[in-house]
Amino acid sequence: MYLEKAKDIGDKLLPAFTSPTGLPFPVVNLHSGKAHTPSWNSGRAVLAEFGSVQLEFKQLAHHTKNRTYYDKADHVMELIRKIPKERYIIGGEDTYPLLPVFMDIDTASRPQGHISLGAMADSYYEYLLKQWLQSGKRDTRFRVMYDEFVDRVQKLLVQETVPGRWTIVGEFHGRVVPQMDHLVCFFPGLLALGAEGPSEKSHLELAKKLMETCWQMYASMPTGLAPEVATFHTKSPGPSSHPDFDVQDPKYLLRPETIESLFWLWRKTGDAQYREKGWKIFESIRKHCRTGTAYSGIKDVQQEKPELNDSMQSFTLAETFKYLFLLFANKGDGHTEDVLRKTVFTTEAHPLRVFDVVSEFDTAHAPAA
């Protein structure tokens, strides 16, 4: 029953891929089958949207034995992979292989907009590593793309705050802007998840430094909860209350990214500090967000007694509490270890089983002997 429903949804979404380039349209009318871009988007595809259909469509192809779903999704990645490198020169800066958040859906011409690991971009970069993991680490295209991405982030976007010397990942708007969404706090966990081989030491070192910054965004607030967006001081200290950053958007939406990263750092290192920090965040969530029926986001993390926004996003259960549960599961438990070894989590923390995607669909990308 579930497979039939998944196939039905997949078939209804396939018209998204009917653009001249094969980049999926952002919106599909499931009744009429018509696909289009919304008026605010001006004919552009969004990086996070066309980058994060990959695991789901490839998994559907695996379970249905219909490679149409695989081909539609993988065409997008091949299109991106083959963009001429000179198109990555933005504002005089070589940004290869970092992509801005928009691409023309009809021509796949020079990418547009700012570069960020946050909103409208995050899950594209997340899925570079996870496509490699989904393939049983056999589709080496994505490990290469992932390593190139991390290398460029280290060279272009990583900055240090003053006076605390926190490590941050900024955004690029023709120049590097020291701003981070809470969403960016998925990145320490991704680095820990992918830390192996020649790059293991440098990736894990960066993961630990960024993890500390994400934790400080929680620990520095009266509620013990992090703001949605913060800008950081990289040239001179700010006000004494928050010398390293200013809150730009004070709401907290029960987001999972920091807890997700604490989980993967705990898995990688076994360091108890990551569990301790996760527990403190959980206690803050219980104190400020729990209601008689559910959990609510709050409007301002800077208030001692914040006002609720009366909204619980679906990722609260799918991710936030799932990663908290996994964080406190017994490491070494046979069942948990077996599940994690055979599973890759989507960007919404839905578990998909690893399978040999190279042998099943695309032998041309098998690693060289």
What single string gives the DSSP state of each residue in 280-346? Answer: HHHHHHHHHHB-SSSB--BS-TTSSSPPB-----THIIIIIHHHHHHHTS-TT-HHHHHHHHTEEE-
Q: Which residue has the tokens 């990959």?
A: 54
Phi first, then psi: give them for residue 167, nearest 5 degrees: -90, 130
Backbone angles phi, psi at 352, to 5 degrees: -120, 145
Query: Tell me, what DSSP letter sits at residue 23?
Result: P
Our CA angle for 9, 2, 33, nearest 5°, is 10
N-to-C CA span, the chain: 41
Could you identify the residue written with the tokens 């034995």? 65
Please confirm, yes or no, whether 228 is among the known catalytic residues: yes
Point out the catalytic residue in the list 171, 228, 260, 319: 228
| Pair 212, 166: CB distance under 8 Å | yes
Rounded to whole angstroms, the Cα distance separating 22 from 128 reads 19
Cα gap 312→175, rounded to integer Å: 36
Question: Rounded distance, CA 96 to CA 169, Å?
Answer: 16
Query: How many CB atoms neighbour CB 198 within 10 A?
Result: 8
Q: Give catalytic residue positions.
A: 228
